[in-house]
Structure formats: C-alpha cells, structure tokens
C-alpha cells in the first residue's frame, strides 16, 4: 500500500465552495480562510493577510495584500487530497504549496 497522495483537481466553483470555502486553511506560519462571499483573510507569519477571489476559467484567481503590501493577482490550480489542498501558482506553471483543510469557521 502506498502513502502517496492522490490529488484531484477542483474544476468548478461549486466544488471549490463545497470543499474549501469557509474552512480554516493552515500550513506552518500561514493560517487563512477563503470565504464564500469572495473575501480572504488570515495571517502569514503573524502578519495580516487579506484579499478577494473569483473563480475564472477553471482557476482560483485571487488578489491579496500582506500588511498592506500588494501581492498582486494570481490564478491558481487547486487540488485536494483527503484533508489537504494544494495550490499551484501561475495557472499551474509556478510554485506549489500545500495547506491542511481544517474545520468550518462559525457564521
């Protein structure tokens, strides 16, 4: 039996909202929530992280700021495996990172 994760790409906004939005997402010093209403908020190494998102052409597209510094717009490939989400920047051509999908946030 293999411990290798099997990643499933999220291809539409309905699946994304069902699997990801409204849940705590964490990895190391990163903790954030992607809300169903298009907001993103959290912290990255203790600094305030915020932004907005839309689903466009099969990609999660976000505009974000870290402590007021504009991080720009990026469209990412989103994949899930069990309780983990992998996002790959630059429409799947850039760096990837993995976060744990936690419990739903209240409200």
Domain total for the chain? 1
Q: What mean pLDDT comes out for the span 96-106?
A: 95
In a domain, 70, yes or no: yes
pTM: 0.92
Percent of the chain with pLDDT over 70: 96
In a domain, 77, yes or no: yes
Q: What mean pLDDT comes out for the span 45-70?
A: 96
Q: Decide if 59 contacts 47 (C-beta within 8 A).
A: no
Split at pLDDT 50, 70, 90, the class of 1 is very low
Is the pLDDT assigned to residue 106 strictly greater than 90? Answer: no
Structural domain of 14:
8-104
In a domain, 1, yes or no: no
In a domain, 74, yes or no: yes
CATH code (residue 16): 2.40.128
Q: CA–CA separation, 42 vs 51, rounded Å?
A: 9
Predicted pLDDT at 3: 62
In a domain, 61, yes or no: yes
In a domain, 76, yes or no: yes
In a domain, 2, yes or no: no
């Amino acid at each position: 039996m293999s411990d290798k994760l099997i990643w499933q790409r999220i291809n539409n906004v309905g699946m994304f909202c069902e699997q990801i939005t409204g849940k705590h997402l964490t990895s190391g010093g990163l903790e954030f929530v992607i809300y169903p209403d298009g907001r993103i908020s959290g912290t990255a190494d203790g600094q305030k992280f915020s932004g907005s998102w839309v689903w466009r052409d099969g990609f999660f597209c976000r505009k974000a700021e870290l402590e007021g510094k504009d991080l720009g717009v990026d469209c990412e490939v989103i994949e899930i495996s069990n309780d983990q989400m992998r996002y790959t920047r630059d429409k799947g051509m850039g760096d990837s990172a993995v976060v744990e999908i936690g419990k739903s946030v209240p409200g």
